[in-house]
């Protein structure tokens, strides 16, 4: 064979061998990869959004759940003129679940699908709130993820928590999406559903709260005559919050559907501020509910003799050129400390605060400032309270700080502002003699911390005696709110309101011995604490006693 022929032969053999190698590689070694690539040209995906995890009360009753909704998905390329929205699979990744139709909205539409075989009705989970406005401020609401939330890692098309527990526990409640497949031809027309097995979504986790829906309903019925206010009840043994109520409220279902934008504008512009969670973010002067804590710290530091009757109350107290009034214009006469708490005598506490002096007084209440200048992780909307110190007064008033300001501080007026949650915490600290488990809203959650208010046992004993006499004593300001067969302790308060009538306040714990619960009630513009807030607390404590069993002999 000539050299030229040999060269042609070897070239042909080399080309033939390379072709076989390439064919073997494609048909055998990389068969699965090419098959997947081929299928990707004809198989489309539809994301299956996960049901959001349920939120339950302590007895398993649903506060936030889900129901089936329907979206109509066009799997072909036809343009549809139908009375309901039709989405493409690509669009579904950007459609919030709230735009799905409820099942009761779609029966008439199914008849029209006969002529549109490329339209697939798909079930989508819709968020629902069976308790509605009753627990809206605790549970919260959900909505479409904002651009900022997506940038922070949230997924388009899945509802995210916007407030309260929905927001605080969003990662736990969200779940993971699944996938459904369908086969199309080269023209994009539907050929086969489910050519591959669907991958089901993973529902979000279930959250069991410490809330008691029965007690929450009881508070709501008790508040019917009143427009605005808040109630908090907590178990002082565990820190579990049993009631967290704010009025007025809103319907969270209105903020998750197609009506969301209109509803949001209406709620934002409502002068009653229904979106404000007054229980954890409403700031109020504590009024006379503050007096037991002034007494406690003054006793602990030896600045008051509990047996002495240092001043005679004739309904007024004169300091400098100004006359300060007691809530009772007839006066209380000469009282000792326990009697002053029982009858809530302003003059007694004016005199005590004046004798202590502004600077030492502000120093004395430092433990309260440390307790109240913070939030407790109950809900994202919480606000810290305000208990001023000397630096705060200097920043606010400069050289115009008057010694007379201490008189207002002595009776819980002036610059002090607390939330109803903080008032319940203070009542719980008296009930537990300064050792309260951190309040929380999750059932059986491990206690992460304890709140402390250090004072001597003698100081606690005397203050507890005074608060018991507020309800049980002959001259107690809440004597009209006694419960037969149950001895409990409390303190009324009336807080000045620059915008109208005074606010009505009451804090309590029950039973007086071996306490189990602490309560705070505020009725905006309700007048004296004994008139509106104390009767609500009384009825709520009575309801708790019937549900859980609690009582003490009427006499000891």
Per residue in 140-170, pLDDT tens?
A: 999 877 788 888 887 776 788 999 999 999 9
Same domain? 160 vs 218: no
Same domain? 160 vs 274: no
Residue 139 maps to which CATH number? 3.90.1310.10
Tokens of 173: 């409640």
Same domain? 185 vs 217: no
User: For residue 25, what pLDDT is reported?
Assistant: 64
Q: Quote the number of domains for the chain.
A: 2
| Residue at 160 is within a domain | yes
Q: How far is CA 534 from CA 8, 391, 482, 523, in A?
A: 109, 36, 10, 10
Same domain? 169 vs 150: yes
Same domain? 204 vs 224: no
Residue 444 maps to which CATH number? 3.40.710.10
Same domain? 146 vs 245: no
Which residues constitute the domain of residue 468?
A: 213-289+298-306+364-405+416-548
| Residue at 327 is within a domain | no
Among 208, 229, 258, give the residue marking a domain's end: 208
Among 208, 237, 264, give the residue marking a domain's end: 208
Same domain? 145 vs 196: yes
Spatial neighbors of 528 by CB under 8 A, at least 6 apart, are 327, 492, 494, 502, 504
Same domain? 182 vs 246: no
| Residue at 34 is within a domain | no
User: For residue 109, what pLDDT is reported?
Assistant: 67
> What's the CA gap between 218 and 507, in Å, rounded?
18
User: For residue 91, what pLDDT is reported?
Assistant: 64
The DSSP 8-state label assigned to residue 17 in this structure reads H
The DSSP 8-state label assigned to residue 445 in this structure reads P
> What's the CA gap between 427 and 137, in Å, rounded?
22
| Residue at 15 is within a domain | no
Same domain? 246 vs 196: no
Element (H, E) at 102: strand 101-102
User: For residue 499, what pLDDT is reported?
Assistant: 82
| Residue at 19 is within a domain | no
DSSP-derived 3-state class of residue 240: strand
Same domain? 186 vs 245: no
Query: Nearest-CA neighbor of 203 among 47, 52, 46?
Result: 52
Mean pLDDT, the chain, whole residue set: 87
Q: What global pTM score does this model have? A: 0.86
Tokens of 427: 């009542």
Q: Which 3-state string (H, E, C) describes 446-492?
A: CCCCEEECCCCHHHHHHHHHHHHHHHHCCCCCCHHHCECCECCEEEE
Same domain? 151 vs 218: no
User: For residue 286, what pLDDT is reported?
Assistant: 96
| Residue at 117 is within a domain | yes
Same domain? 236 vs 204: no
| Residue at 2 is within a domain | no
> pLDDT digit of tens for each residue in the chain (556 aa)?
556 666 656 666 676 666 666 665 656 556 565 555 455 557 877 778 788 999 999 999 999 998 887 777 777 666 667 767 777 766 668 555 556 677 766 666 666 666 777 777 777 788 899 999 999 999 999 987 778 888 888 777 678 899 999 999 999 998 888 888 877 776 666 677 778 888 998 999 999 999 999 999 999 999 999 999 999 999 999 999 999 999 999 999 888 766 677 888 899 899 999 999 999 999 999 999 999 999 999 999 999 999 999 999 999 999 988 999 999 999 999 999 999 999 999 999 999 999 999 999 999 999 999 999 999 999 999 999 999 999 999 898 887 888 889 999 999 998 999 999 999 999 999 999 999 999 999 997 777 799 999 999 999 999 999 999 999 999 999 999 999 999 999 999 999 888 889 999 999 999 999 999 999 999 999 999 999 999 999 999 999 999 998 865 443 3
Among 191, 208, 225, give the residue marking a domain's end: 208
- Which DSSP string corresponds to 191-237? EEE-SS--BPPBPPPPEEBS--HHHHHHHHHHTTT-SSEEEEEEETT
| Residue at 314 is within a domain | no
């Amino acid at each position: 064979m000539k050299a030229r022929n040999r060269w042609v032969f070897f070239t042909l053999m080399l080309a033939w061998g390379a072709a076989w190698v390439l064919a073997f590689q494609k048909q055998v070694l990389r068969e699965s990869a090419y098959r997947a690539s081929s299928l990707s040209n004809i198989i489309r995906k539809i994301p299956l959004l996960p049901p959001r995890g349920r939120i339950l009360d302590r007895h398993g009753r649903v506060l936030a759940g889900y129901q089936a909704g329907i979206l109509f998905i066009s799997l072909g390329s036809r343009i549809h003129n139908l009375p309901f929205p039709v989405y493409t699979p690509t669009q579904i990744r950007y459609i919030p679940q709230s735009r799905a139709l409820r099942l009761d909205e779609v029966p008439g539409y199914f008849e029209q699908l006969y002529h549109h075989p490329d339209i697939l009705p798909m079930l989508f989970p819709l968020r629902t709130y069976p308790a509605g406005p009753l627990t809206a401020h605790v549970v919260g609401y959900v909505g479409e993820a904002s651009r900022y939330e997506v940038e922070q890692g949230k997924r388009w098309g899945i509802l995210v928590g916007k407030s309260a527990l929905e927001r605080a526990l969003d990662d736990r409640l969200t779940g993971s999406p699944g996938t459904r497949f369908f086969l199309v031809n080269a023209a994009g027309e539907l050929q086969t559903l489910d050519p591959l097995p669907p991958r089901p979504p993973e529902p979000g986790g279930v959250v069991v709260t410490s809330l008691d829906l029965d007690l929450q309903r009881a508070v709501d019925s008790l508040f019917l005559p009143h427009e605005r206010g808040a109630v908090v009840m907590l178990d002082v043994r565990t820190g579990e919050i049993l009631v967290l109520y704010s009025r007025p409220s809103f319907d969270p279902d209105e903020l998750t559907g197609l009506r969301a934008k209109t509803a949001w504008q209406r709620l934002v512009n409502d002068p009653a501020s229904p979106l404000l969670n007054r229980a954890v973010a409403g700031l109020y002067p504590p009024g006379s509910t503050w007096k037991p804590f002034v007494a406690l710290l003054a006793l602990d530091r030896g600045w008051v003799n509990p047996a002495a009757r240092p001043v005679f109350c004739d309904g007024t107290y004169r300091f400098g050129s100004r006359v300060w009034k007691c809530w009772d214009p007839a006066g209380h006469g000469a009282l000792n400390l326990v009697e002053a708490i029982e009858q809530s005598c302003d003059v007694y506490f004016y005199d005590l605060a004046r004798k202590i002096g502004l600077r030492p007084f502000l120093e004395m209440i430092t433990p309260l400032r440390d307790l109240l200048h913070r939030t407790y992780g109950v809900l994202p909307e919480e606000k810290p309270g305000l208990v001023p110190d000397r630096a705060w007064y200097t920043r606010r008033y400069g050289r115009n700080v008057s010694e007379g300001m201490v008189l207002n501080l002595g009776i819980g007026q002036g610059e002090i502002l607390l939330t109803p949650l903080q008032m319940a915490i203070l009542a719980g600290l008296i009930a537990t003699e300064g050792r309260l488990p951190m309040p929380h809203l999750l059932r059986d959650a491990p206690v992460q911390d304890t709140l402390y208010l250090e004072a001597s046992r003698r100081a606690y004993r005397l203050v507890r005696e005074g608060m018991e006499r507020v309800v049980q004593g002959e001259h107690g300001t809440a004597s009209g709110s006694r419960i037969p067969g149950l001895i409990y302790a409390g303190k009324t308060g009336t807080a000045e309101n620059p915008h109208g009538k005074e606010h009505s306040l009451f804090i309590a714990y029950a039973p007086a011995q071996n306490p189990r619960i602490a309560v705070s009630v505020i009725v905006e513009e309700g007048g004296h604490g004994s008139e509106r807030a104390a009767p609500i607390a009384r009825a709520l404590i009575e309801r708790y006693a019937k549900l859980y069993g609690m009582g003490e002999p009427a006499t000891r």
